[in-house]
Amino acid sequence: REAEEARDVGFARLDLLRRIAAPAIESGGAGRLIEAIVATAEAEGTRLQKRPDPVLWKTAADRREALRQPWETAYCLLRHAEAALAARALRHEAAESLRKAHTIATKLDAPPLVGEIEGLARRARIELGMAEPPARPGTSRPTTDGGVAVALTSREREVLSLVAAGHTNRE
């Protein structure tokens, strides 16, 4: 029941935003920020309908990026990837959006957003291509017998830290 009420509030707010912003947008006087807010709200509306639209999320991400709003850009890219994966035909686009969102969110030091991005990537089995953290002075990076540096995914690093802490495979 609570989720249904929240969805109704979301639809009501989207409708109000449309009515307020539409005349300004139509006359060309809304400005890029209002257009970005409306684009994001329209994309959120498709989530409320349980039919997320990757095209609307991509538009919202592009508008947020044009305004140099990194957190909002990363959020919209995450939602674009989510919608693209739901469409089942846009996996390449989803991977690209997740990687870009991850780079932005990591630079912003936004752990909750990074966690959401990494969680979706893990569930979708998309490699984010994360760079290894820089080596501390006096330490060396692991290499193969041939001298090739070994890079681990975030999940592999997580598992290794759990094993190092004494956890069993089952744990």
Q: Which of 12-21, 53-62, 125-134 has the highest mean pLDDT?
A: 53-62
More confident residue, 88 or 143: 88
Question: 125: which 2 tokens?
Answer: 């089995």
Per-residue pLDDT at 31 exceeds 60: yes
Mean pLDDT for 66-78 is: 96
Cα distance between residue 49 and residue 16, in whole Å: 17
pLDDT at residue number 137: 55
Q: How confident is the model at residue 133 (pLDDT cuts 50, 70, 90)?
A: very low
- Given a contact cutoff of 8 angstroms between Cβ atoms, the answer to whether 110 and 71 are in contact is yes
For the stretch 77-88, pLDDT in tens is 999 999 999 988
